[in-house]
Amino acid sequence: MISHITLGTRDLARARTFYDPMLQLLGWHLSFEAEDWLGWTPQDAESPLLSITLPENGAPAAPGNGVMVALDAPSQTAVRKAHQIGLTKGGSDAGAPGLRPQYHANFYGGYLRDPDGNKLCICCQRAIAS
């Protein structure tokens, strides 16, 4: 259903340092790399694509107000690990991993912002203990 999601960055090397280990943990791999953008896809699929790019108009990248990308994790443990990786790679906490029963009984998510301020949610919505 979703072809791709694109987020802006001011620094591709910094973005790669942030995203690559976190996405690898979630089963994604760096599948495209060019001078001004990077792209990750799930290990077993060609889409969706998560691309990180320098803005084409040359203006500095800025996060959108109300925009958030949620990445599916296979377990609550993976949510915690991915959130921690993001924090150690230059991200900032936007909500510690935990159950969010206000969404539904099985929603377990952690929120962070990448080094450019883009908001991410790493979440597991399965009824599993981990």
**What are 30-55's pLDDT values in tens digits?**
999 999 999 999 999 989 999 999 99
Helix (H, G, I), strand (E, B) or coil at 109: strand
Cα–Cα distance for residue pair 37/25, rounded to 1 Å:
21
Average pLDDT over residues 18-32: 97
As a whole number of Å, the CA-based R_g of the chain is: 14
The strand pairing partners of 7, in sequence order, are 52
Residue with tokens 């009824």: 127
**What are 75-109's pLDDT values in tens digits?**
999 999 999 999 999 999 999 999 999 999 999 99
Q: How far is residue 27 from each of residues 4, 10, 12, 64, 120, measured CA to CA in Å?
A: 16, 25, 21, 26, 16
Q: For domain 4-54+67-124, say whether CATH 3.40.1190.20 is its number.
A: no
**pTM for this entry:** 0.91
Q: Write the DSSP assignment of 70-103 as a string of letters.
A: EEE-SSHHHHHHHHHHHHHTT-EEEEEEEE-TTT
